[in-house]
Amino acid sequence: MQHLLPTVQFDAQLLQQYDQPVPRYTSYPPATELKPEFETVDFRAAIAVSNYKKTPLSLYCHIPFCDTACYFCGCNTVITQRKAIAAPYLSYLVRHIQQMAQLIDRDRTVHQLHWGGGTPNYLALNQIETLWTALQQQFHFDPNAEISIEVNPKSLDQQYLFSLKNLGFNRISFGIQDFDLKVQEAVNRVQPESMLFDVMQWSRDAGFESVNVDLIYGLPFQTLETYRDTIRKTIQLDPDRIAVFNFAYVPWLKPVQKRIPQAALPSPAEKLKILQMAIEELTQHGYQYIGMDHFAKPGDELSVAQREGQLHRNFQGYTTKPESDLIGFGVTAISMLNDVYVQNHKHLKDFYRTIDAEKLPIERGVTLDQDDIIRRTVIMELMCQFQLSPDDIEEKYHLGFDLDFESYFASEKFQLRRLEADGLIRLSSNHVEVTPAGRLLIRNVASAFDAYLRQNTTSSFSRAV
């Protein structure tokens, strides 16, 4: 069924009303539910089940290293200019890949591969090739697999980009954050405008199928007018996809953010104006709002998949590939099977120690029950398609018991009615539709079905706006 082209509507009053901490729903249950008491044997058992089902694969490689710290960053990174640190990590990463490959049937097809960090292009080209070869030797890749990499423009030249494309990467992503020099200096990420335009041109010349750029609003010294200039220059770059992330100032969680001048942060009211302007500029220039900070050209496969109701979401973000098992390699990487999620050790020494002991480097995990799986389906449908068919949910989970959507989610009815009264959703007997005004608050809509959020008394999630 072809869905109507999604639109988005800015409603400042609603955004202020619902600006509260909620999960980003790259998974359900959220990663906060992964616990250290998890037994590794459960992960092995889940892999055995997925081998039997021949579930497709999505692979992720985490490269944690960066030359310098970006003060806005919330990623798990290792900051060092001592490039020699990469060689031992690469060796252990290859061993981890080999270790996991022994558990996974060779005939399962890889539809998606992503390298993130940190800075994947912290690695020298010969190291990139070593890691690439290890993956190709251990896994069977679909000829049309989506193979993407994040890069830092400051550590890049044309030859490096062409080498990535020749190796087999077909999608690339890089961070801009803001074109304004004063903002760049305040967050320790100085990138001349000419450099960013060069990287985009090289990416086009190399023939990457899709180029994504990241922006951040809410950074120090940003104003409505300076950020309008950033948005317009980004549009001139003409990327296929644009992510416009909200900066979460959480120095108690990310100490590096203490280096940011707090007094220079835009006020909440200014941030809302900046967000409104960014949405209006991007949609007026033909970008479609995909959801969760993401915009894409109408012809981009993300936009097409959403219109056709085939968009998916996992720890790597939005994807057009079929529902797959995500296998994460390296420190902090998360693996997500049908009913088991695990996260690897966050520290290099722990990761190395467990690999040396020939153990899986798992630090924490969670096993999902049937209720988790049902709620995950509901949440991901809302996150990806902006609508939900209760009939489809009932049909999918008619597994030895009658699942009547209305009675199963009876305790959620009050919250859904409130969302409807506030104009975030429209309800009927066989349909839940997120309104254009509700799409910017899709996390809040999805959270109505989150059983864990009621028990979570912490503010470990970023705010909705």
Same fold? 1-29+369-465, 33-325: no
Instruction: Using the predicted structure, report yes or no on whether residue 60 has a pLDDT greater than 80.
Output: yes
Ordered by start, the domain boundaries in the chain are 1-29+369-465, 33-325
Helices 86-101 and 348-356, axial angle in degrees (round to 10): 50
What digits encode the pLDDT tens for the residues 177-188? 999 999 999 999
Q: Which residues pair with 116 in a beta bridge?
A: 62
Q: Average pLDDT, stretch 406-421?
A: 92
What digits encode the pLDDT tens for the residues 5-38? 447 888 889 988 988 888 888 889 988 899 999 9
CA-based diameter of the chain, in Å?
61
Residue 236's closest CA among 290, 187, 179?
179
Residue 291's closest CA among 420, 463, 73, 446?
446
Instruction: Using the predicted structure, report yes or no on whether residue 349 has a pLDDT greater than 60.
Output: yes
Alpha-carbon gap, residue 314 to 327, rounded angstroms: 11
Q: Greater confidence, 391 or 359?
A: 359
The pLDDT > 90 percentage for the chain reads 74
Q: List the single range of 5-19, 256-270, 331-345 with lowest mean pLDDT.
A: 5-19
Q: Average pLDDT, stretch 129-136?
A: 98
- What's the pLDDT score for residue 4? 41
Question: What DSSP string describes 432-453?
Answer: EEE-TTTGGGHHHHHHTT-TTT
- What's the pLDDT score for residue 402? 61
- What's the pLDDT score for residue 260? 94
Q: Report domain 1-29+369-465's class.
A: mainly alpha
Average pLDDT, the chain: 91
Q: Average pLDDT, stretch 31-53?
A: 95
Alpha-carbon gap, residue 1 to 115, rounded angstroms: 33
Alpha-carbon gap, residue 398 to 380, rounded angstroms: 19
Residue 416's closest CA among 392, 382, 384?
382
Alpha-carbon gap, residue 279 to 383, rounded angstroms: 18
Contacts of 201 (CB under 8 A, 6+ apart): none
Which CA distances in Å does 275 have to 204, 246, 247, 445?
28, 9, 11, 19
Domain 33-325 is found in CATH 3.80.30.20: yes
- What's the pLDDT score for residue 462? 66
Is 414 exposed, middle or buried, given 0-12, 13-18 or 19+ CB atoms closer than 10 A?
exposed
Question: Residue 47 half-sphere exposure, CB side, CA atoms within 13 Å?
Answer: 18
SS3 state at 393:
helix
Instruction: Using the predicted structure, report yes or no on whether residue 128 has a pLDDT greater than 70.
Output: yes
Q: List the single range of 181-190, 217-226, 312-321 with lowest mean pLDDT.
A: 312-321
Q: Average pLDDT, stretch 306-311?
A: 85
- What's the pLDDT score for residue 264? 96
- What's the pLDDT score for residue 458? 55
Distance of CA 118 to the CA centre of its chain: 14
Q: Which residues pair with 79 in a beta bridge?
A: 66
Length of the chain: 465
Instruction: Using the predicted structure, report yes or no on whether residue 46 has a pLDDT greater than 70.
Output: yes
Instruction: Using the predicted structure, report yes or no on whether residue 233 has a pLDDT greater than 90.
Output: yes
Q: Strands 340-344 and 334-336: what pairing? A: antiparallel
What digits encode the pLDDT tens for the residues 62-109? 999 999 999 998 888 999 999 999 999 999 999 999 999 999 999 999
Tokens of 298: 């109408």
- What's the pLDDT score for residue 399? 46
